[in-house]
Structure 1
């Protein structure tokens, strides 16, 4: 096993005029990587450092989309019936896919986050709606969670080709 020792940087070790402050990270994205903003999908409700989606030259990575409807509620989360909540997630994903130059047919991976304490009927409804949107049968992972942000019951994140 190799041990790496770190020696603290002392003021006398600095060159004249150098600062001991931690350098600022570079904020520019690498060439070919762009942020996607879809006006027809809800804006992020938190101040976390994230994007609706990130596009690379070949892939689109969509952040988790939850059961929310900002058009009718001004960004306030409302509890929806299961089919409405799932349809809303799909609507938001569709808007971001289009804004990123992709489509449901180009989706290669979906991760589904679903509340663990939902009745089994909810899962049946989810599968029915999911099949209607994802006819191409992308790879999928389902993760049961105890809680989602903003009282959502379901969230999906997606990776698609562009």
Structure 2
């Protein structure tokens, strides 16, 4: 007879350094030693507006938002184990991937597992959305 699993601690992660949620969801959720971020788009946290520019500028802002949520939840890019990337146009893959590599696949690091898909539309008509799962390294 197996025992019921122990209850996992679940807590909401929120920071003013990332955009406020634009719907009924949290910026991040910590469950046990894992942190799940909501998908981040290229919103400036101060203005809640999409940053100007193309895929490079948008991807850079997405990673700034993700970094803020990871840090607020006690983690970092080096602890990411899974990434999901949604692109409006797969022709933007190389430009997005170069910025992605700077954050999640630096020389000597172990890059996370990843799924990348092209989608027909993203919130606020942005070009990219990314969510992460990371190990929590601090309390």
Specify if TM > 0.5: yes
Q: In the TM superposition, what whole-angstrom CA distance separates every residue of 1:14-68 from its partner, at most 9, and x where no partner exists?
A: xxxxxxxxxxxxxxxx76100000110010123x2x1100001210000000022
Please give the residue correspondences for 1:5-24 in structure 2 after superposition, counting only pairs within 5 Å: none
Which of 90, 96, 99 does residue 126 from structure 1 map onto?
96
Aligned residue for 1:64, secondary structure, equals coil
| 2:14 alignment partner in structure 1 | 37
Structure with more contact order per residue of length (Cα contacts < 8 Å, sep ≥ 6)? 2
Gaps of 5+ in 1: 1-29
Please give the residue correspondences for 1:1-162 in structure 2 after superposition, counting only pairs within 5 Å: 32-46=9-23, 48=24, 50-71=25-46, 74-116=47-89, 120=91, 122-135=92-105, 136-162=110-136
Structure whose CA Rg is larger: 1
Normalized against structure 1, the TM-score is what? 0.73
Gaps of 5+ in 2: 1-6
Q: Is the 8 A contact 1:51 1:63 kept in 2?
A: yes
**CA 1:131–1:31 in 2, change beyond 3 Å: closer, same or farther?**
closer
Separation of aligned partners in 1, 2:50 and 2:102:
25
Q: How many residues align?
A: 126
Q: In the TM superposition, what whole-angstrom CA distance separates every residue of 1:74-126 from its partner, at most 9, and x where no partner exists?
A: 2133442221100000000000000000000000000001113x5x2x22111
Normalized against structure 2, the TM-score is what? 0.84
